[in-house]
Structure 1
Amino acid sequence: MASAAIDLTSLSEEQQLALQQYTSVTDQELHSAVPLLQKCQWNAQIAITRFFDGDADVVDPVAEAARAPPPPPQAARRAETLMDGIPARSGGTRSRRDGHGLEEAPRVVPTPESQMTQSMPFPFSILLLPFNLTYTIFQRVLGAVGYVFPFLPRLLSRFYSGRASQPSRDSGRRPLNPRDTAARFMREFEEEYGVTHGTLPFHEGGYAQAFDIAKRDLKYLLVVLLSPEHDDTALFVRDTLLSPELVNFVKQPANNILLWAGTVQDAEAYQVASALNVTRYPYACLIIHTPSVSATAMSKIATSTGPVAAQELITKMQTAMRERSQELDRVRGQRQEHQASRSLRQEQETAYERSLAADREKARKRKEDEAMKEKTEREEREREEQKATAARNLAQWKRWRAQSIPSEPGTEVKDAVRISVRLPSGERVIRKFVPGAELEELYAFIECHHLLVDEAEASEKEAEKPQGYKHEYNFRLVSPMPREVYELEKGVRIGGRIGRSGNLIVEKLGSDEDEDEDEDEDEDSQ
């Protein structure tokens, strides 16, 4: 399930180191790694053990972390290299070995050149300028002598180094990052020994990266260190390292070998040689994860120094690999079970998310349907209320207008206009109007005819004009022969527009449904 992004800047330096160590071994996502490390009090060893055992929910990692001794302090500048695992040296060479007789293989990250060399203050550089010039001239002279007599450097190297030589590096060699250093080594190796690219599957990255990959994927890390200053290097490369038997052995996928090589002329290989206690070249060692030692231990299970036959080196590595195969198979099985359970949990969470999304979609549609239904019902109620209000206003207006319609003029009015009107119901109504009456009086008479049938009843009903109501007539008066429409116009008089008499027909302007509604409203008002 999605989670909020982890803010790495809020973690302390020790917590970031523990997180880096934990993720490099388990390859777990940050949003899952941080909660387990928090439960384990940021103890990476306990968290890794709980991760591979799969019992973080059963065993209390907090109590286990409280009982565990605190990790040894590390220098801030060398913290990332995990140099607490480098064998200690005092006088001679000593190796850190565990109870199983295995020598620990440390993870080494090369120190940046800017941290290894510090610039000298300007006043001291001025004072030491004559000595630097003398040293430079002397170095150039010796270089020229060595170029003319090439046997002298090798003779001096044997004289000083002897058999137990320490790793050395060319201080004049340009330092590069681990990936570029590996690319330069492979290019020089191919040019020196005349092989094509890919003859040996060298890892195209730094030692620390190869170390982490081997730990994560449970691969055998074969480390090869060469020193061009030793005469055995060329013989070892041609007869052993490039032999068809060893090349096929390294390339065979079933052996699961990751090959990393370097020359001690480079800073990274020089530091790796120092960390692995290399005393003789060429050097080769096989490193693998040893869970019997600890949950994160990487140990050397086979080493070879000096010239050695290809078959002898293969036999030594095969023997070591067979001794560790059962333990690695067990760890692989545990990881596969853990990965299967994690995949199952992810599938279950995904199915739950899909089901939850479907339920949310159904709820959303149901709410939309309910809202639409409610809106439709509300609009229908509003229309009904508007119709009812309009009907009440119309009935009240008719009652009010019927009271203001003057009575029919008597016989004493000689110029009265006689109008014969045929209503939509077929009934014919005849009435007289004074000539000066407006045409609207005729329209109002027809509109309120059903109220004027009984003038006594109409006069008894008193009504007020409805507020805010503007009446519109939904019919018009038409003369049949010849056809002429008498539209309602303000200020038009009946006598001037129709004459002394007229025969008119009422034509409805609305639909038949409106007519039926008007008739119902008229009946209700009666």
Structure 2
Amino acid sequence: MDTDALSQSQKDALSQLQTLTNGGDVEVAKSVLESVDWDVQRAAEVIFDNVLPASSPATTMDSNVETFELDDSEQGLFGEHRAGREFRPVDGGFSSALIIRPIRAIITILAIPLYPLFSLIRFILRFLRIPLPNFAPFTLSSLTFPYRSLATGPGRESKAMDPRSVAERWVRELEEETGAVCIGRGHRSRSTGVLAENGNGHGVSSGANASAPGPSMLTARPGAWDPDGHDGEVKFLPDFFLGSYEDFARTCQRDATIGCVILVSEEHDDVAEFKRSTLTDPTFVQLIQDNGILVWGGDIRDRDTWSASQKLQATTYPFVTFIALQPRRAPATANAPAPMLTVLSRHQGPAIPSTSAPTAAQTLTTHLNEQLLPRVTAFLIRVRAQASERERERALRAEQDRAFEQSRKRDKERAEQRAREERLAQEVLRRAVEAEARAIEEQRVKETEARAWQAHRMEWRRWVRRGLMMREPRPGETGRGKTMRVGVRMPDGKRSVRFFGEGDGITALYAYVDSLFIAPEFMQDADPREPPNGNAAGDEGLLAEMEKSGRTPEKWWGFKLVLAYPRKDISWEAEKRLGDVEALKGGGQVVVELVPDSVDVKGKQKQTKVDVDVDSDGYHTEESE
């Protein structure tokens, strides 16, 4: 094949894909890369997962791959740097995959009639709670390429697990292989016997600095430590972040902490020694723990780990890299940009010899103590301090906002209270004005009725003076009975004396007293000759008028007559004679007391109070106050 026409990046991609597939046909590899726009990761997915490339051109980089700056200032300091990309061969090849595909398709078609039987047996076993064997040995995934990062493998479920479950499984397998336990979980299990979790409720392998969504499913493995507190030969692993690589990177960026990524491949012979010596080295593990370095790891046979290896440009395994926030490179005059997640150093290759190998514990410990930590710790502390200051300012602003909101609510409540009080005062004032207006209107109506009644009553007084008030008996007149002398004391203190016959009715006495209330301007000669409203004359007409007005006799007359001493009322009765009044036999002294009318709204007319006095006639009388 003519590869001269390819660019250098295309040649590198072709070389990397051939290394991943252990050689294979160059033309086929080139065609696959061209179909995915020279994206090695997607090309590997097409080959290993039998995924058809998208019809539209794909971008050269996965959208989820974050951009890293590379700090290579420490590269080549420990051990000889290996040139090129060093991948261990894997079983099989690209050419064998071309042969397996048609065979797999034929076997899948032949196995279709057996699917109902397999389903029935699976249902029965599940009902009986018997572990299910794999009844699908001839599926599209059973004969896939033996690269386990993109396929199933021994001890793994056929369906892809979420990154958290994959991380937990890998940590558990690492503990079983090394006989060690994650340091945080080991110490905590001695005291509590439970798996630690961080303050956010996110599970980590030991409950230290890392976090990932959901509770951890890891449990304490018996035999990893002495429950009585005697360590013996107990070995510890770093605390591993349980989650996806994307969550791990975001946590490092959010918390401004150093991240350590550990990538291994079981196909490499150096991985086993790396796990036993480096990952369980007490000095290295304690250094990681003391400096709060967040650790994430996995096997590149898992999809998320393989994707991380592509992003971090891992070339051989075991692979250890340290990442952290670092300031961006920008001109001195420009505004300082936000720091970004940066690869601080890469370490890949064997872990032996223990004093100089790239991934040996002593090499990594020396690098951390003498190179990486002194170089980045001060900046990360400053970043965390700035973040803490921003959080403090945010909390202060939130507190100020809450105080302002509370003050605003109080002011609003006070304003609403004042408005309610003003509305209530206005309502009270309005009701008072309306009540006063009604009172004035009622007063006006009553005064109008009182004036109309007084006018009507004056007409009756004048008629009573003409028609019912009898003249005094003449000397020697005997037709009206024995003459009797009656003295009248008016409410204003005026006295009047008049003679009546014993045969005269009590109406004559009341008519005489009533005539005393007529104003002088009303001349007697001008009094009406007929009763008002055409009523009948005499006591019959008076009774009819009283019933029509709805007033009692005392209120219709407007006064009552009482004997001065001893006090005794002289009530008006129709057709009753003066001689029949026991108190007036032989004459007497009477006092006129006003009776207020119910229609008199002012009610200023009060019953006259009299005190006892003796008039010139020798009768005891009551003086008006």
- Relative to the length of structure 1, the TM-score reads 0.52
Structure 1 residues 417 and 193: CA distance shift in structure 2, 3 A = farther
- Ranges in structure 2 where 5+ consecutive residues have no aligned partner: 1-56, 77-99, 111-146, 154-158, 187-237, 330-336, 352-358, 471-502, 511-516, 518-537, 561-566, 584-591, 607-625
Distance of 2:414 and 2:321 partners within structure 1? 63
1:393 to 445, 448, 458: 445
| Residue in 2 that maps onto 1:315 | 366
Deviations 1:455-491 (A, max 9, x none): xxxxxxxxxxxxxxxxxxxxxxxxx999xxxxxxxxx
| Residue in 2 that maps onto 1:171 | 151
| Residue in 1 that maps onto 2:177 | 192
Deviations 1:129-186 (A, max 9, x none): 545447999xxxxxxxxxxxxxxxxxxxxxxxxxxxxx96251253222222222223
Distance of 1:102 and 1:212 partners within structure 2? 25
Distance of 2:273 and 2:72 partners within structure 1? 37
| Residue in 2 that maps onto 1:350 | 402
Distance of 2:322 and 2:172 partners within structure 1? 24
| Residue in 2 that maps onto 1:365 | 417
Is 195-204 or 305-314 further displaced after alignment?
Answer: 195-204
How far the C-alpha of 1:390 sits from its partner, in A, is: 0.9
How far the C-alpha of 1:402 sits from its partner, in A, is: 3.5
Counterparts of 1:237-256 in structure 2 under 5 Å? 237-252=275-290, 255-256=291-292
Tell me, yes or no, if structure 1 residue 221 matches structure 2 residue 296.
Answer: no
Structure 1 residues 278 and 354: CA distance shift in structure 2, 3 A = same
- 3-state SS of 1:225 partner: strand
Structure 1 residues 481 and 232: CA distance shift in structure 2, 3 A = farther
| Residue in 2 that maps onto 1:57 | none
Structure 1 residues 128 and 223: CA distance shift in structure 2, 3 A = closer
Distance of 2:297 and 2:373 partners within structure 1? 20
How far the C-alpha of 1:102 sits from its partner, in A, is: 8.7
1:81 to 64, 75, 85: 64
Structure 1 residues 360 and 398: CA distance shift in structure 2, 3 A = same
Structure number with greater CO (CA < 8 Å, separation at least 6) is 1
Deviations 1:236-291 (A, max 9, x none): 21221122222222222xx1211111111110001111221212211111111111
User: Does the CA-based 8 Å contact 1:286-1:303 persist in structure 2?
Assistant: yes
How far the C-alpha of 1:439 sits from its partner, in A, is: 3.4
How far the C-alpha of 1:223 sits from its partner, in A, is: 0.7
Distance of 2:296 and 2:605 partners within structure 1? 101
**Which protein shows a greater Rg?**
2
Matched length: 334
Structure 1 residues 97 and 441: CA distance shift in structure 2, 3 A = closer
Tell me, yes or no, if structure 1 residue 330 matches structure 2 residue 378.
Answer: no
Structure 1 residues 82 and 233: CA distance shift in structure 2, 3 A = closer
Equivalent position amino acid for 2:411 in 1:
D
Distance of 1:194 and 1:410 partners within structure 2? 140
| Residue in 1 that maps onto 2:341 | 298
Equivalent position amino acid for 2:321 in 1:
C
Structure 1 residues 509 and 191: CA distance shift in structure 2, 3 A = farther
- Relative to the length of structure 2, the TM-score reads 0.45
Counterparts of 1:262-301 in structure 2 under 5 Å? 262-293=298-329, 295-301=338-344
More helix by share: 1
Distance of 1:373 and 1:215 partners within structure 2? 63
Tell me, yes or no, if structure 1 residue 230 matches structure 2 residue 315.
Answer: no
How far the C-alpha of 1:393 sits from its partner, in A, is: 0.8
How far the C-alpha of 1:76 sits from its partner, in A, is: 7.6
Deviations 1:73-94 (A, max 9, x none): x9689764145x37xxxxxxxx
2:297 to 232, 236, 261: 261
How far the C-alpha of 1:295 sits from its partner, in A, is: 2.4
Equivalent position amino acid for 2:603 in 1:
D
Is 216-225 or 173-182 further displaced after alignment?
Answer: 173-182
1:443 to 548, 551, 567: 551
- Ranges in structure 1 where 5+ consecutive residues have no aligned partner: 1-73, 87-95, 104-126, 138-166, 421-426, 454-479, 483-493, 522-526
User: Does the CA-based 8 Å contact 2:328-2:339 persist in structure 1?
Assistant: no
Tell me, yes or no, if structure 1 residue 519 matches structure 2 residue 604.
Answer: yes
Structure 1 residues 337 and 175: CA distance shift in structure 2, 3 A = same
| Residue in 2 that maps onto 1:59 | none
Tell me, yes or no, if structure 1 residue 182 matches structure 2 residue 167.
Answer: yes
Structure 1 residues 231 and 134: CA distance shift in structure 2, 3 A = farther
Deviations 1:312-357 (A, max 9, x none): 2122123212111232233334334434444443343333333333
Distance of 2:61 and 2:315 partners within structure 1? 24
Distance of 2:240 and 2:252 partners within structure 1? 14
Equivalent position amino acid for 1:300 in 2:
V
The sequence identity of aligned pairs, in percent, is 22
Structure 1 residues 189 and 97: CA distance shift in structure 2, 3 A = closer
User: Does the CA-based 8 Å contact 2:163-2:244 persist in structure 1?
Assistant: yes
Is 407-416 or 375-384 further displaced after alignment?
Answer: 407-416
- 3-state SS of 1:288 partner: strand
How far the C-alpha of 1:99 sits from its partner, in A, is: 9.2
- 3-state SS of 1:81 partner: coil
Distance of 2:438 and 2:149 partners within structure 1? 98
Distance of 1:102 and 1:396 partners within structure 2? 117
Q: How large is the Cα RMSD of the aligned pairs?
A: 4.9
Equivalent position amino acid for 2:268 in 1:
H
How far the C-alpha of 1:442 sits from its partner, in A, is: 6.2
User: Does the CA-based 8 Å contact 1:302-1:317 persist in structure 2?
Assistant: no
- 3-state SS of 1:277 partner: coil
Is 288-297 or 256-265 further displaced after alignment?
Answer: 288-297
Structure 1 residues 384 and 436: CA distance shift in structure 2, 3 A = closer
- 3-state SS of 1:298 partner: strand
- 3-state SS of 1:434 partner: helix
